[in-house]
Structure 1
Amino acid sequence: MLSDAKVRAAKPRPKSYKLTDTNRLFLLVTPSGGKLWRWNYSYDGKQKTMAFGAWPQVGLADARAKRDEASGHLMEGDDPTILRKLKVVAKLEAGRQTFERVARAWHENARSQWAIVHAADIIRSLERDVFPAIGDMPIAQLTPPLVLSVLREIEARGAIETAKRVRQRISAVFIYGIAEGIATSDPAEKLGAVLKPLRKGRQPAITDLVPLRRMIRTAEEDYARPVTRLALRLLALTAVRPSELRGAQWDEFEDLNGSEPLWRIPAWRMKGDADRKDELHGDHLVPITPQALAVLRAVWPLTGEGPLVFPSNRHAHRPMSENAIGYLLNRAGYHGHHVPHGFRAAFSTIMNEWAEREGKEHDRKVIDLMLAHVPTGKVEGAYNRAAYMPRRRELAMAWANMLSDGLSAPSVLLDLPAKAMGPQSRRRVPPPVDIEFRFPTRRRSSAKVVAR
């Protein structure tokens, strides 16, 4: 029977020799001085030898523990050498079964039950928010804290609803993995209870300038029709209501080639009751800044031949879908955090804070005018909607300068893809207008194109 002292004292000889321990365990000492643990056993009438490693990395006690474990497998009728090989193969395969690999297999398996757009949104959310963090990790090694850290990153940018949706998708991947024998548990299952709750009440909006610009950049880089991207940009710059933007007609814009371009939204298209819509001189006046004018120049080659600035993709005589901009924000990861109407809250909050620092006495009233809000105590019909126009232009310019800092030029948005495209794509975008372009003069139409 061996002891630690005997193992240490063993010296090399010209030929290899054995020092035996109990239950057929022995130490093989080689001429070069190596000391290797071996164990002889019989299986299916054949004599076999199993290696347990080299001393001193594997000590005597460890070698005996390995022998006892292998002997236990042998008593159960298993060949311990074969079991070891199977474990190695299983571990290698488990290492190859990364979360991203399993997630893509789950997505491919389930995509037939989803609409094409929804299926693309699901895989894009995983590619954006999950794969960079845990995509290359073996799915079987993921733990609740690791998954929660991914969801906390999404919450940190304010996308509370997106975090909840991504948790559901991660959980679905684990359920698929369990069914396939790749995973044994779902670490995302119970995490819904510790995520931040959704805010109720007012429509969600980002009201801090830097995150707002980041959100616009992220949304504009996502897949969307150029018209939708440009509509998002003009909505942010003008802070009009989404329905007012969608129904915008080219003949509502005045002096686009002059020094004081203006968007005159007719009273009948504004929010309000019948008296508001029939009000004489009740049009809402929106100063057009150079940044907003650049959007109109960019969209002109796409829609300038028709009456609507932002028409439907399928029907040029109808406004774009009321969901188009909202879906773009959702795909960009801002579901539940910012909606198209939220640009009005962002404009109000940021500009009122700016007015406190750098503005003039009546700027709060001017900001309300720009949002088409009627001050308390005013009668609709007696309210001067054209008041403070010079100051409104100044505030619109201040807002456009702050908002546009770091954003791409509107013309750049034309070249971004509407969807994933292969090398043989035949998509062609009309060339942008040149620097000498002049908007043609249009007569104002009396026809009403209602944004449904």
Structure 2
Amino acid sequence: MLPTILRYDFDRQFPKEAREKRDVARKQLSDNIDPGVYKAQQKIAATSAAENDFETIAMEWYNVQLSDKSESHKSRSLRMLRKELFPHIGRRPISDISPPELLMLLRRIENRGVVDTAHRAKQTAGQVFKYAIATGRTNRNPANDLTGALRPKNKTHYAAITTPKDVGKLMVAMDAFSGTYIVRSALKLSALFFLRPGELRHLEWDEVNWDEKRIEIKAEKMKTRQPHIVPVSSQAEKTLLQLHSLTGRGHYIFPSQRGNSRPLSENSVRVALRTMGYDNNTMTPHGFRAMARTLLDEELSYRIEWIEQQLAHEVKDVNGRAYNRTKHLKQRVEMMQKWADYLDMLKVKEQGCVLSSMD
């Protein structure tokens, strides 16, 4: 026991933190615990926890288990880890992650309106936990305890291609399509505008605002009965200008082969896809919307409300009011140009792969 005067001087001269450490050391000694040994053990435990956090093990899983997978599969898995999982549980010791904690993370994704992405995040996390069990870093897979906890996946009424590599193949096939220029243009603008098929077929030349580089669709033509704006990318503008030289004197951008007074047949794009080798179980005209929605979110990381508004879905603000047609227009203009550039990039990449395979 320190003399009273020495104890007083220690309390005066040393900060509160040092006094607390002194008290802890005294308590450990009274419990027959060597403070030096205890500190070393804590340091080892902290190092072990850092080496066994979710991100470290997930990257190990990625490098080991996905080494023989396609580049598109690897890219999609890595994006899922970095965008959806690492920001929330990346630094957590994997053995400490509980089912409620994982569910809270997945609920955040659900609440963005992307239920299918939440299911894929759960699947990816589950594979990481399974790998951690096999390598002795944890003994439980919390993803298995969440069966039925998420909302059901969105029912797919229209088949759609949603992987980057397959979209690249589709873009190459569309370029090589030997049908009429009007149908080929309808295919291209289906991908660039991702309107509903009926909305695309009924586009009129007087809805094209050349100065503002956008298409302004009347409310009565939209499913939501709200006017809609489609920003026109430079690629889309080029296609429209070429089309205008063919059909610009008429009413519709895509007139029927039977006469300019009628729009393109509802089966024209579907038949073109079939001619290219895409049946109704692989890709449909309506599938261009799901294609854009998935890749804009998962690959290009655009905000869901911008994507939803461009899809002409009813999107409401925090006060429950529907956004007007010009809301986020500046951001949507940038997004639509980025989308067109992304499709071009996928096409060029696929063309390179085809040429390489021929060498």
TM-score (norm 1): 0.42
Q: Which has the larger radius of gyration?
A: 1
Structure 1 residues 252 and 319 mapped into 2: Cα distance closer, same or farther (>3 Å)?
A: farther
Is residue 235 from structure 1 mapped to residue 190 from structure 2 by the alignment?
no
Instruction: Kindly tell me the number of residue pairs found equivalent between the two proteins.
Output: 254
Amino acid at match of 2:117: T
1:252–1:263 Cα contact (<8 Å) kept = no
Structure 1 residues 259 and 411 mapped into 2: Cα distance closer, same or farther (>3 Å)?
A: farther
Structure 1 residues 175 and 201 mapped into 2: Cα distance closer, same or farther (>3 Å)?
A: closer
Alignment correspondent of 2:213: none
The structure with more helix, counted as a fraction of residues = 2
Alpha-carbon separation, structure 1, partners of 2:312 and 2:337: 24
Alignment correspondent of 1:63: 29
Structure 1 residues 230 and 63 mapped into 2: Cα distance closer, same or farther (>3 Å)?
A: farther
Structure 1 residues 413 and 222 mapped into 2: Cα distance closer, same or farther (>3 Å)?
A: farther
Coordinate RMSD, CA, aligned: 5.4
Amino acid at match of 2:194: L
1:362-393 superposed Cα distances (whole Å, 9 cap, x missing partner): xxxxxxxxxxxxxxxxxxxxxxxxxxxxxxxx
Alignment correspondent of 1:339: none
Alpha-carbon separation, structure 1, partners of 2:119 and 2:127: 13
Alignment correspondent of 1:192: 147
2:252–2:261 Cα contact (<8 Å) kept = no
Q: Percent identity?
A: 19
Alignment correspondent of 2:333: 408
Alpha-carbon separation, structure 1, partners of 2:41 and 2:189: 58
Once the two structures are TM-superposed, the CA of residue 145 in structure 1 deviates from its matched residue by 2.8
Is residue 127 from structure 1 mapped to residue 46 from structure 2 by the alignment?
no
Alpha-carbon separation, structure 2, partners of 1:404 and 1:239: 23
Alignment correspondent of 2:116: 161
1:8-34 superposed Cα distances (whole Å, 9 cap, x missing partner): 646659xxxxxxxxxxxxxxxx9x999
Alignment correspondent of 1:77: none
> Equivalent of 1:180, from 131, 135, 153?
135
Amino acid at match of 1:65: D
Alpha-carbon separation, structure 1, partners of 2:97 and 2:138: 9
Once the two structures are TM-superposed, the CA of residue 66 in structure 1 deviates from its matched residue by 4.3
Amino acid at match of 2:118: A
Amino acid at match of 1:236: L
Residues 328-407 of structure 1 correspond to what in structure 2 (within 5 A)?
329-333=293-297, 347=312, 406-407=331-332
> Equivalent of 1:264, from 254, 262, 267?
254
Task: Identify which range, 255-264 or 221-230, moves more after superposition.
Answer: 221-230
Is residue 98 from structure 1 mapped to residue 53 from structure 2 by the alignment?
yes
1:11–1:33 Cα contact (<8 Å) kept = no
Once the two structures are TM-superposed, the CA of residue 266 in structure 1 deviates from its matched residue by 3.6
1:94–1:138 Cα contact (<8 Å) kept = yes
Aligned to 2:136, what secondary structure does the other structure show? coil
Once the two structures are TM-superposed, the CA of residue 241 in structure 1 deviates from its matched residue by 7.4
1:66-106 superposed Cα distances (whole Å, 9 cap, x missing partner): 43xx7xxxxxxxxx94x874553242131243322211211
Structure 1 residues 143 and 263 mapped into 2: Cα distance closer, same or farther (>3 Å)?
A: same
TM-score (norm 2): 0.51
1:253–1:262 Cα contact (<8 Å) kept = no
Structure 1 residues 119 and 256 mapped into 2: Cα distance closer, same or farther (>3 Å)?
A: same
Residues 73-92 of structure 1 correspond to what in structure 2 (within 5 A)?
81=37, 85=40, 88-92=43-47
Any stretches of 5+ residues in structure 1 without a counterpart? 1-6, 14-29, 35-52, 71-79, 205-218, 243-248, 268-278, 287-307, 335-341, 351-356, 358-397, 422-426, 428-452
Any stretches of 5+ residues in structure 2 without a counterpart? 15-19, 175-187, 202-238, 299-306, 316-321, 353-359
2:116–2:154 Cα contact (<8 Å) kept = no
